[in-house]
């Protein structure tokens, strides 16, 4: 199963982003494709926070538009939202220790731990920080 990180969601949603066209195509392939795919819940939360943030975009998305975008994705037959499970703390601790994680990087470790626990094959992301987690295969589809 493929999981999608926040930047891909943001780029696909915001047509004023440099990588909008490619991200939109990548996400459309997943949404309309036959295979299961996923979004970790922390990426949903971060997506909503980013696209609605004043000052980041000349015209930020409204909260309604952000939720509408997630709702449209949710209509995809193959989409599964991923969250923390029973062994999340142990996985998070293990990969954080191995990746020498501190401070705000714990957010990426949280996403990585969720993906690892759900046996995600590949995380689509533009964030090189995920290279700290060798148990998780990461691909930049853009």
User: How many domains are there within the chain?
Assistant: 1
pLDDT at site 77: 87
pLDDT at site 36: 95
pLDDT tens column, 42-85: 999 999 999 999 988 989 999 999 999 999 999 988 999 999 99
| Range of the structural domain that residue 25 is part of | 2-139
Return the CATH number at 125.
3.40.50.1010
3 contacts 37 by C-beta, under 8 angstroms: yes
Distance CA 66, CA 42 (A): 15
pLDDT tens column, 86-138: 999 999 999 999 999 999 999 999 999 999 999 999 999 999 989 999 999 99
pTM equals 0.93
């Amino acid at each position: 199963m493929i999981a999608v990180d926040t930047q891909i969601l943001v780029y696909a949603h915001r047509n004023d982003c440099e990588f909008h066209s490619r991200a939109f195509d990548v996400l459309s392939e997943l949404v309309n494709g036959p295979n299961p795919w996923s979004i970790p819940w922390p990426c949903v939360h971060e997506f909503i926070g980013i696209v609605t943030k004043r000052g980041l975009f000349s015209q930020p998305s409204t909260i309604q538009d952000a939720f509408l975008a997630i709702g449209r994705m949710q209509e995809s037959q193959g989409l599964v939202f991923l969250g923390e499970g029973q062994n999340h703390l142990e996985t998070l601790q293990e990969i954080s220790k191995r990746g020498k994680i501190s401070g705000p990087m714990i957010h990426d470790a949280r996403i990585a731990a969720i993906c690892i626990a759900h046996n995600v094959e590949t995380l689509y992301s533009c964030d090189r920080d995920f290279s700290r987690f060798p148990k998780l295969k990461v691909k930049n589809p853009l």
